[in-house]
Amino acid sequence: MKIEGKVWRYGDNIDTDVIIPARYLNTFDPAELAKHCMVDIDENFAPNVKAGDVMVGGKNFGCGSSREHAPVAIKASGIPVVIAASFARIFYRNGINIGLPLLEIGDDVKKIRANDVLKIDTATGTIENLTTGDTFKAQPLPPFVQGIADAGGLINYIKTKK
């Protein structure tokens, strides 16, 4: 997937409680979850995010609760990819499992600012910051995990293994 989009930039340790607060977990409808995505740290995100924008965080992105509602809310907001220095383990699995590409780039993330425009190829993990001219390369997935990502998520992957 090739993407060109504007950056919504967040810091370290973005937890799943701020991605989607528990008071909205009485539903698992993606569109409903998207309405409240990031509301506790950024009220501007949900009303203003545009399909194709990208989300960038610091280290340990998605820590805390195992709620898959969090990557679902991000994906349903129109975000096609999340980039971070590192991801919390459960969030990382969940992202791959629902077909939301996650790119881990370590300290290079510091060279990406809010509103920069990035050009991303999720298949190769290459990221070009069109605003600054920097280019980055994400950590590749292990082949087995890449297979799940290529299938568009774990449910599709399992269906092909029948």
Partner 1 sequence: MGMTISEKILARHAGVDSVEAGQLVICDLDLVMANDVTGPPSIKEFEKIGRPVFDAEKIALIPDHFQPAKDIKSADLAKIMRDFARKNKIKHYYEQGRVGIEHVILPEFGIVAPGMLIIGADSHTCTYGAVNAFSTGVGTTDLAVGLATGKAWFKVPESINVHLTGKKPKNICGKDIILTLIGKIGVDGALYKALEFTGEGVKELSMTDRLTISNMAIEAGAKAGVFPFDEVTQLYVSRRVKKTFEPVTPDADAKYSSTVEINLSELKPVVALPHLPENVKTVEELGEIKINQVVIGSCTNGRLEDLGIAAGILRGRKVHPDVRCIIIPGSQEIYKEAIHCHWIDIFIDAGCVVSCPTCGPCLGGYMGILSAGERCVSTTNRNFRGRMGHVDSEVYLASPFVAAASAITGKISTPEEVL
CB of 69 to partner 1, least distance (A): 7
Of the pair 45, 116, the CB lying nearest partner 1 is at: 45
CB of 142 to partner 1, least distance (A): 6
- In sequence order, which ranges of 80-161 are alpha helices (DSSP H)? 89-97, 143-150, 154-160
Q: What is the DSSP letter of 34?
A: H
Residues of this chain that bind partner 1 (CB under 8 A): 13, 15, 17-18, 21-23, 25-28, 40-41, 59-60, 63-69, 71, 86, 88-90, 93-94, 97-98, 142, 144-145, 153-155, 158-159
Q: Which two tokens stand for residue 76?
A: 């349903």
Q: How far is CA 137 from the centre of its chain?
A: 16
How many Å apart are CA 34 and CA 12, to the nearest integer? 21
Strand partners, 120: 3, 127
Of the pair 26, 133, the CB lying nearest partner 1 is at: 26
CB of 146 to partner 1, least distance (A): 11
